[in-house]
Structure 1
Amino acid sequence: MLDQSLFTLLHVLVFVYWLGGDLGAFYTSRFLTQPDVSADRRMMAAKIVGDVDMAPRTALILTLPTGLALAQSKGWLDLGWIPVSLIAIASLAWLVLAWVLHVRHGGAPQALKTLDLAIRWLLIAGLVVWAGAGLTGSISLPLFLALKMLLLAGCIALGLFIRIVLRPLGPALMGLSGPEASAAEASLANTLNRARPLVMGIWVLLVSAAFIGLWTPTTF
């Protein structure tokens, strides 16, 4: 029972830090578009947003290993502890990669960025296939776990789309103190306005996953 309590706590903490970190980053991003805030202060706000955002990024990576460990300890899955442990080790390696990319920002090798991107797309595909096999009865998988896998895949996919939408953010921030400040201001506001619905979409998926985890329907 101690292992179940520990894994439950870890999985709940992942949810708390993911949603809480996202809310913190979302709130701080408002200062990026306030006209009465200087360019220097907006750059500082952008750095704070990036740092706070590492909480949900970390939580995303830890969601699968903590969830699998909890499911294994509860008897919802029968993967065996060796595969679960290997997935946990791989997830920790991915977490190190994510933090290296964050700390080094633009100075990180392109190969590491490509590797991180490939991991995310492979994970999306793997989760969808795994969940699909469970929903079609090809493998034994509780309904709630299949649904949570699909929701996690959706969160990762939305995160990738947010990255694409936020690409103009850096140039816009740099342009706030230049001769084209008004154009940079408009680009900044437009970029954040496009990203915010995607962030809220992640919140909806997260809360849905939490509800399904508490409901835990095992069959249709």
Structure 2
Amino acid sequence: MTLLTLLHLLVPIYWLGGDLGAFYSARFLIDPRRPVNERMMALTILNNIDMAPRTTLILAFPTGFTLAVMKGWLPLPHGWLALVWLAFLAWLALAWTVHLKHGPAGAAYKKVDIATRYLVLAALAGTGAAGLAGALALPLFIALKFLVLAACIAIGLIVRVQLVPLFPAIIAMKATGATPETDETIRRVLGRTTPTVQVIWVLVLVACFLGIGTPV
């Protein structure tokens, strides 16, 4: 139980820490004074650091769900735990596959990952809403944490849409060098995503507060 609690506590630590690292690395990506090779290195560092919040987002539910069952907050058979862990570890493996496979080789995996995110989003939002409405016997803080995690996934999907214009600019910068146009595109995209990501930071802190306060 202690090790599981520690693992669940490490989720927001690595989530926020990874996001802050990626946020800092982005400053070098948009710095026009730096040569392209340094800016591409910053992008590589950013992408790798970003796997910390992507990993912890996926691990947030199985660790929290297991604690809730073991502490009696969710009166479910322990057999559910194995199913939940298998499902989310499979999703985690899929997310890492998307990260490691680039271009056409990873396209199919990316589509499955996106579909999985929508499925988990719908399940979490529906369960949380049902708990708040009294249709499911859930403690208030657990129902709210379901909704918070669903919101984090939803905002993550929004960030992916906001990042779409970034990739052609990065490809152009790598192929022909930086130009005022590519620099402006990269700066504009990252400026647009920054407040969106910061909303996720707030939601993670809200989830931590709910976990500590455990309002009934």
Quickly name the TM-score band, shorter chain normalised: over 0.9
1:141 is aligned to: 138
Offset, 1:108 = 3.0
Cα displacement (A) at 1:171 = 1.6
1:194 equivalent to 2:192? Answer yes
Match of 1:174 in 2: 171
Matching of residues 1-220 of structure 1 within 5 Å: 3=1, 5-176=2-173, 178=176, 181-218=179-216
- Aligned residues of 1:158 and 1:202 also touching (Cα < 8 A): yes
Cα distance in 1 between the residues matched to 2:11 and 2:76: 22
Superposition TM-score, scaled by structure 2 size: 0.96
Q: What is the deviation of 1:175? A: 2.4
Separation in 2 of the partners of 1:172 and 1:115? 26
Is contact 1:175–1:184 with CA below 8 Å preserved after alignment?
yes
How many residue pairs match? The answer is 215
Deviations 1:143-202 (A, max 9, x none): 000111111001011111111111122221232363771111110100000010111010
Whether the 8 Å CA contact 1:29–1:49 is kept in 2: the answer is yes
What root-mean-square deviation, in Å, do the aligned CA atoms of Structure 1 and Structure 2 show?
1.3
Q: Is the 8 A contact 1:39 1:173 kept in 2?
A: no
Task: Give the Cα separation in 2 of the matches to 1:68 and 1:147.
Answer: 13
Counterparts of 2:196 and 2:214, CA distance in 1: 26
Amino acid at match of 1:211: F
**1:112 Cα deviation after fit:** 1.5
Distance in 2 between residues matched to 1:163 and 1:124, nearest whole Å: 15
Say if 1:101 and 1:20 are closer, same or farther in 2 by CA, change over 3 A: same
C-alpha distance after superposition, 1:13-38 (max 9, x if no partner): 11111111011101111111111111
Mean Cα displacement is larger for which, 163-172 or 201-210? 163-172
TM-score (norm 1): 0.94
SS at match of 1:108: helix
- How far, CA to CA, are the matches of 1:150 and 1:34 in structure 2? 37
Which amino acid in structure 2 is aligned with residue 217 of structure 1? P
Where do 5+ consecutive residues of structure 1 fail to align? none
Change (3 A) 1:179 1:112: closer
For 1:71 and 1:179, how far apart are their aligned partners in 2?
52
Separation of aligned partners in 1, 2:147 and 2:44: 31
2: distance between equivalents of 1:173 and 1:111? Answer: 22
Q: 1:139 to 1:193 in 2, by over 3 A?
A: same
Output one character per residue of 1:124-160: Cα deviation in whole Å (capped at 9) or x when no partner: 1101110111101111000000111111001011111
After superposition, the C-alpha distances for 1:67-124 in whole angstroms (9 at most, x for unaligned) are 0001111111112211121011111111111111111122434322111111100111
